[in-house]
Every structure is written in C-alpha cells, then in structure tokens.
A and B are shown apart, each in its own frame.
Chain A
Amino acid sequence: METATEFDTIAAISTPPGEGAISIVRLSGEEAIQDTQKVFSGKNLLHVASHTINYGHIIDPQTHQEIDEVMVSVMRAPKTFTREDVVEINCHGGIVATNRILQLLLSNGTRLAEPGEFTKRAFLHGRIDLSQAEAVMDLIRAKTDRSMQVALKQLDGNLAHLIKNLRQDILSVLAQVEVNIDYPEYDDVEEMTTRLLKEKALEVKQRIQQLLETAKQGKVLREGLATAIVGRPNVGKSSLLNHLLHEDKAIVTDVAGTTRDVIEEYVNVRGVPLKLVDTAGIRETADKVEKIGVERSKKAIDQADLVMLVLNSSEPLTTEDRQLLALTAKKKRLVLLNKGDLEQKIDLEELRKLLGSNEELLTMSVLKNKGLAELETKISKLFFGGIENSQTTVMVTNTRHIALLKRAEKALDAVLKGIEDNMPVDLVQIDMTSCWDLLGEITGDSYQDELLNQLFSQFCLGK
C-alpha cells in the first residue's frame, strides 16, 4: 500500500471552484509543512513560527519552473481546524495555477483529501461536535454506497484496460524476481537479472510517459473544456446540469458550515472533460426562481469554449431566447430543444433562420431521459473534431490519476537509479513493487495475494 491510509497528509483546494481573486490550497497532517517545503521557495517553512504567513513562490522541484507567487500560512498543531499541522497556500494565479499547485503536491506524495476529510479529522481530534460530524458521516456513507464500482466507472475503460495490462506485465517480472529469492534452487526459471529488470522498467516508463503526455494535450484537456449551460429560467438547465453531474461525478460536496473539499466542478463526458462555468448561477435560479440576468449569462458565455443553449420546445421563442441565440452565434454551441416530450409550440422555421447553415438542433427531454445519449455523442464529436473517440484514444484527465502516474514514473526512476548504482535485484524490485501498487490505486486493484497467485500459477514450485 503506497497511499490511502487513514492518517496521511492530505491536500485539497478549499475555496469554491471558479475564478476568484484568491484560491487556497489547504494541507493537513504530520507532513503538511514538510510537503509544502518541497515545492516552496522562500523562507524555510520548517523553521517559521506557528500561525505566520510567509511570502514566496511555488516551484516545480523537477523543472525548477515557477508556478505562482503565493502567501503561505503555517499553523502548527494543535491550535488548528483539524488539530494537525495545517498549511494554507494562498495562490493568485487563478484556477489554472491553483490546480497545478495541487497537482504538484500530489505528485510529491501528499494524498488528495476525500470529501469531508478535513472535517472528519477535526472531529476525530475532538475539535467539532457530533452534529457536524454526522453530516460528514453522511458524506462518507454516500461514497461507500456507490462503492468501488463507481470509482471504476469514472475511470475511462480504455485507461483501465491499459493500466491493467501494464500491471500484469510488471507482475510477471515481480513473480520472476520472487521465485529466484524464495526458490533459489529452482532451475527452470530465467534468473531475473537487473538487465532484464531495466528493460522492463524502461518499457513501462515509456508507456506511462505516453499516458502523461495525453494529460498535457493542450489547455482544454488539462483544464477541461469551459462549458456554459445557458437559457432563460425554467427551460431545464438545472436538470441537465444535474444529469451531467449525476452520471459521471457527484462533486457537490460542500456541507453547510464545513469546508468545501471539492476541487473542481468538472464532468467527464465520453472522455471529454467539461469544466462547467457558473453552475452556481444555474442553481441559484433553480432555487429561488430568480430571473437570470442576461448580463450574467453574457459573462458565462464569454468564459466558455462551448455553450449549451437550452430552449423550451413547449413554448414559443421569447425575446430572451433570441438575445441568447445572438450572443452565442459566434461560439461553438449546441442548441438543445428540451421538453420534447410535451406538445411542441416553438416555431421551428423561425428558429432555423436564427441558426447557422450547418447547425443542427437537438430535440430532447432531460426529464424523460431522451436525447441525452445523442447529446453526449455530439459533445464527443465536437471535441475530437468529428473523429469518434476510438478504442485507442486514452486520455488521462483526473487529478488523482495524473498524480499517481507521476509517482509511478518516479518509482521507475528509482528502479533505474538502483540499477545504475549496482544495487541487488531484490532491492531494485522494491521500487518496481511501488510502481505496481501505485498503478493499482488507479484501477482500485489492491488484492494482496495477487503476487503469490501469480507465483504459483507461473511456476511449479515445492519440495
């Protein structure tokens, strides 16, 4: 087991998602200060007084590239929210830089916080009372109910397949090393020399790098396709939003009075990461039936790379609809005719005139779950430039996956370093096993007896 223990040092973006002037990345745990210091240039945080705020820069320790100018609050246990050491990194560079800082911490060994985990720790250390803790329990419970299957569902099937193959490859190497150790007199197996181990490590490393390369493919892949859902009140924006969120990733985890542990308002539609813009606006209108100002929509549209304009098929076009059509005319957009299950009252001919020459209309009903698959296909087509997301396209977009892949890559570097230093094969293998464990955390495979099963099915052993 490489990560995911109960008392790891954890990190998350603790400010609401979206573009604010300042975002905060928060860490909690025994190694919070040490972990921050790994990526910080400025005063040595290990030696600063508690409850001080310190100016400096976040630097990628590998590339020495500067990520952001920051203020870092260092708060030592026990006078903190979680009663553990807590660090808060105040970043200025917007959500992109904030995500990169979090990513950097995760790649260097900090674990991504689970929903409600900061609050849970506060409770475990006697910091908050039971009623608050119960809310956290519900949160964790919600996660258990959905259990492992959902975790796997979030994982792109192709990626999972690829990782599984990689792990199987590594496993057969590990089994070979083990059989040499536990059965030194067993003659039927090739002695796993460091040379063979090196070949395998290089091969696996190359494949991991290719995967990480996909994570870098342009801003869109990295940051998600900024997507706005617009439309006048009551056309079904919020149902559509909920549908997208529900299908892929429940990310609404802010419990009143507790910290927001969510780090991104992203959904994954057939491999296309969408970053939803101004979802708060959509929810507000749903809650309070407050009229959404065109001004506010305008702002959302400006930020978006993709606009989903929702119209109500069961009512005639309104001035507001026309305004929104005009505002989005130059954008990459999908015009959705919702409530297609009701009697159609919208003037289709008029609408067609307002659309571009090749632009399609998509009739659907979020409520009746109709046309949603077509919508997803459309999004995917738009994104992949008309090429269907083929079986070979594997893209890594999830923050946690990227961090685990990077750490797996580091483990392989340690394998290669060990070989270079002439370390014995059973020591070099320790890092190979780490790599295998880390990849297993992506797919959720951590069956401890896997290695022994492999050993005894691959070789005929015994006295």
Chain B
Amino acid sequence: MEVKQYTSKDYDVIVVGAGHAGCEAALAAARMGNDTLLMTINLEMVAFMPCNPSIGGPAKGIVVREVDALGGEMGRNIDKTYVQMRMLNTGKGPAVRALRAQADKRLYSIEMKHTIEKQPHLTLRQGIVDDLIVEDGTIKGVVTNTGARYGAKTVVLTTGTAARGKIIIGELTYSSGPNNTQPAKKLSGNLEKLGFELHRFKTGTPPRVDGNTIDYTDTEEQPGDTQPNHFSFESSDEDFLSVKEQLSCWLTYTNETTHKLIRENLDRAPMFSGIVKGVGPRYCPSIEDKIVRFADKPRHQLFIEPEGRNTDEYYLQGLSTSMPEEIQQKLIHSIKGLEHAQMMRPGYAIEYDIVAPYQLRPTLETKLIKGLYTAGQTNGTSGYEEAAGQGILAGINAGLKALGKNQVILKRSDAYIGVMVDDLVTKGTNEPYRLLTSRAEYRLILRHDNADLRLTALGHQLGLISEERFAAFNRKKEAIEDEMKRLKEVRIKPNEQVNAFLATKGAAPLKDGVLASEFLRRPEVSYADLLRFIPAPEAPLKQREIEQIEIQFKYDGYIKKAYRKVEKLKKMEAKRIPELIDYTAIEGLATEARQKLQKIQPETLAQASRISGVNPADISILAIYIEQGKIAKLKKKGA
C-alpha cells in the first residue's frame, strides 16, 4: 500500500545523511543561523567510522586542520576521543608533516551526536529520504519514506555508501548500507529521473578480530607520541594524553602462505569473478588486488589497530577483502600473531552510487538544480576527512544561499579542500578520490601549521568562529608579525660567543654582522639558539608562534616562489566565463576541447585551462569570444 504523504515542517537547510560530510554541513548551516534539519537513516550511525578507526595522515590531516580553522567540528571531536596521536613525516619539511590519530570509534560517534543535539537551530532526525521536491529547476524540499514532506530553501545530499548500497562477501551479495545498516534504495532512481548522471563505485573494509586472541610476541609495537599535538587550534597541550594513556598499534606481515591461499581462491574473489561491477580505488586496494598486481612482493604490511577503549575489537589495516568468509578466516590464521585470532566480523566490499562530480560547481551546488548541494562519498571521494572538508563547504554555501548571500569558493592555493573540489569538478574521477600531497601544486603554502592563518578570518566572517577564538587568533597573528618585524631589525655581531656556538654546529663563523632574521635562516640555527644572542621579546612567544617564525624565515625562498606562481594565475582565476555557453557554436576550438568544455562548463578561464585536452590556443579563442560577448547560450534543460 502506498504511504500517504503529509506536510511537515519547513526548514532553511536540510542535510540528508549524518556521516562525516553531513555532520559538518549541518553544523555549519545551523551555526550561520539557519533553521537546519539533519536526516539520517540510523541515529546510532551519526559520524560513524565504518572502515579504519583513524583520522588524519598526510594531506588528510591538513584537511582536518582546515575544517577546524573554518569552525568545523572534526578536529575538536577527534581531540576529545582519540586513543593515540602521532605526527608523521617529522624528518621532512613543514609542508608534509602530518598528524594522525587513532580514534575510539564508538566515542567519536557519541560525542559528535551529542554536539549536534546541543546545537541551537539544528534538529537531528531518523528517516530515509526517498525523493526531492523540485520546482522550476529549484530545490524545494525532501520527501521521506514515512511520507513526511519537508520544505527547504536548500538541500545538501551526503548519502555516502548508503545510496543503493550493496555488500559483497564472496558469493554472498545483499542490499545494504555501511556496516549492515539500511540502504537508501529509492533516492538514486529519483536523482536519475531528475537528469543526474550516476556512477557506481566500490570500496571495502577488512575483517575485525578479537584482541584477546592475538599473540603480540612477534609483532612490532607502535606507540603514540610523547610530544603534544592536536587537530584543533582550540585544544590545549595540558589535555594531551601521556604515552601510557594512549593505546598502541601493532605491525605484522602477510607471507607466502597468505598469498598462496589468495591465488588458489581467486575464482571465488568477487573482485575477479565479475560480481563487483563498481570501480575501486588504486590507493586502497584489497589484499587480493595487491597479490595480483604486485605478484613479486614477498610480504605486505599489516597494522593491527584498536577500535576503541571499551572494546577488544581490532581492525586489520592492510587486509581489506571481499573473499568468502571461510577464506578470510584462513587468511587471518596464516599471519604471524593472528594464528589463533578469532574473527569478529568479516571484511566486505560495498558498491554504491555517486553523482558524477562534473555536474557540480566549485561551490558544490549542482548545475542542474538550484539550491541542491552534494558532498562526501556522493561526489566520488573516499575518506572521512575528504567528506568533512566537502561537507563544511557545502554546508557553508547551502547556508549562505538560504540567507541570500554570495557563495564561497576555495581556490587551489587556499586549501587542500580547494584542490579536492577543483579536481572533482574539473577533472572528475574514475575511482574513489583520495587526497594526496602530490595533488597539491602549492603544498608548501597549504601546511597544517598555517591552516588558521589561511582560513580562520573567513570562518569568522561566516559566523563559524567565536569572538573569543578570533581574538586569540589575532593575538597569535600579531605576535608572529611583530617578532618577525623585530628580527628584521636586530643585528647580531660576530663575537666569540656567536662563533663558538657556530663551531659546535660545525658551521662557518660569522665575519660581518647580520640581521637576526638572516641568522635564523641558517639550517643549524633555531629560534631558541637565536635568543642567546639577542634580547628576548617583551612577551615570550608560544611554541606555535615560534614554529611559524622559523618556517617563514627558513623556507622563505621556496614560499615566495610558490606565491609568485599563485600570483601569476590570479588574472586567469578572475576571468569569469558566463554561464551555460554553447561551445559547439564557437569556431576554432579543437574537437576534444570543445567536448570537454561543453560537458564541464568551467566557471573561470583558469579552471578551463586545467581541463586535460584543453590547450593554450583553445583558451585564447575562448578569451576572445568572452571579450566579444557574442556567446551562444545553451537552452536550459527541462525548463
């Protein structure tokens, strides 16, 4: 029998899905003063981590900082619920240092849910959104499976792997969302009816085992850091957990027996038997994929990671698989330390629908329907951090639109979030998209340590940063600027003390006096060393401020070079291309360029130039057409 629909409440913003994207989107919209509804299929799954129990790492950790700098929640939430914190790449430059935390999965979810519950203007509600209400190409609201019709000025879809989700374990397949929750079965079909192009992606997760049955004797312990670090710029060092209070991870390896087992059972591997149709990520391959693609490797690393404090469930990082359960057990038992490990849940592959991201603007609004935004896995990405980064941007823009204000775009030189969104809407993606530092051409200026300097003013302007935090931020900024100015004025004279110090560092002695800033540029000199030879500043600096000063002086040459490149592109970024151009009517464009431009409809000349297959000559022609103002417009679909 058909469910009878009824008119429910009207909201400013509705967010569909309460994963990592949805939570950020809803919080941002509500904090900007919008009456916001957050719908989720299962209230127990708010900000749930269906895969690895960790947050951060290279590139991803910087995104968490960016989310925090904009006033988002992920950084604060993990700082409250981590069980281990590690700074990676400490031996490398400042741009690639990366913070990673192991999370208490359950606690992370509970804490986020509570934050959302406490948030004014924000309603959290369980329900499945089946359809969208659209009038004249503009979003008007959503319809749930229980028949409720909610009105909205803007809607953000963050459906994750729930969209027509299908779990696969060996020969077994069934319709399901992540972690055996209900899938969203109807929404995808309705999106297709509205004219959206959907693609099918695949991801997977490894089996979990009972920690009491692991033998740690021959595994390598990986403890947390002693040096305090946090994701949020608001967290304080006094709250940092000691190594003893943190939980360790453990390293072991696959071996020839494991590999043989996989090779012998490849005919039962859904990845190869044809059951899996979706495209999986190269950077997060299943163990069967690794064995096939890198047949020569004698062993693969495997990290055993705790899922939380009040559980003995452990995650086997490196053993993502969709082999039959029987084989999964044998695989586990073939591994050192896991010979008697009790499997608690099998690993699985999951297929789901995504909205091909070329259909989005850099604001994450869909080109097809005004006021409709998408974020997270829905846009073809993978990872909690990638989801949160898009979530906050989509939430901000949905919130701004509901308030009748101008949209925000983050450029590639502003943030990793900008790199990710530009990649998605300009190049699209053939596999679940993960951020890597190598995707960012300006990574030296997109550091984790300066995320606040890059984005907090914007966050404050949007109303997402409290006055108190903003004042603290400005004090930090001023302290850095004042001290840098001072160091450019104070001179160090070559005396015995200075040269004796340099000799201990094996460095050449000073012959003439130098500016303190120049002295600090020497790789062997730290700010603390410098203070031995010049008067201390009136107010002593905090560690994070000192870090900024050291980075900005020591890597000045490289940083300037990066900013020059950014500067060069500014004019092209500023050159807007009018909406809905009919590129087939522009003479002289190369065929490939014409097709790509027609499909992607870039918004600036710079974005157009980043489309592969669009050459400088095509950009020239486009620039001239724009100037002529004689551009044929596409007829709007379905109007």
Contacts and interface: CB of A to CB of B under 8 A. Distances in A.
Interface residues of A, number: 52
Query: Which of A8, A136, A463: most chain B CB closer than 10 A?
Result: A463
Contacts of A148: 615
Nearest to A143: B617
A136 B285 contact: no
A181 interface: yes
Interface string A419-463: 001111111001000000000000000011101100110001111
B320 interface: yes
A462 B285 CA distance: 6
A460 B294 contact: yes
Given A140-B620, A422-B523, A424-B93, A181 B571 contact: no
A6 B609 contact: yes
Query: Which of B95, B437, B617: most chain A CB closer than 10 A?
Result: B617
Given A6-B605, A421-B523, A184 B621 contact: no
Contact of B92 (A6, A147, A426): A426
A137 B438 contact: no
Contact of B58 (A136, A137, A184, A425): A184
A6 B290 CA distance: 43
Contact of A144 (B88, B92, B96, B588): B588
A460 B58 contact: no
B444 interface: yes
A140 B621 contact: yes
A123 B626 CA distance: 11
Given A181-B89, A460-B293, A137 B588 contact: yes
Contacts of B561: 430
A181 B92 contact: yes
Interface residues of B, number: 66
Contacts of A461: 283, 285
Contact of B589 (A1, A130, A144): A144
A183 B300 CA distance: 14
Interface stretch (A185-193, A220-228, A255-263, A287-295): A185-193
Nearest to B52: A463
A457 to B, nearest CB: 9
- In terms of DSSP, what is the predominant structure of the interface of chain B? loop
Contacts of A53: none
Query: Which of B284, B561, B624: most chain A CB closer than 10 A?
Result: B624
A463 B321 CA distance: 11
Interface in A78-135: 114, 117, 120, 123-124, 126, 130, 133
Interface in B243-281: 281
A6 B616 contact: yes
Contacts of B524: 422
Contacts of A447: 612
Contact of B284 (A421, A422, A463): A463
Contact of B628 (A114, A130, A181, A185): A130
A447 B444 CA distance: 22
Nearest to A148: B615
A185 B439 CA distance: 19
Given A123-B624, A421-B523, A426-B92, A141 B587 contact: yes
Contacts of B438: 178, 181-182, 451-452, 455
Given A114-B617, A186-B301, 11 more contacts: A6-B616, A6-B620, A7-B571, A137-B624, A140-B617, A182-B436, A182-B437, A184-B58, A423-B93, A462-B283, A463-B303
Interface of B: 52, 58-59, 88-89, 91-96, 98, 206, 281-285, 290, 293-294, 297, 300-301, 303, 317-318, 320, 427, 436-439, 441, 443-444, 523-524, 555, 558, 561-562, 568-569, 571-572, 575, 587-590, 605, 609-610, 612, 615-621, 623-624, 627-628
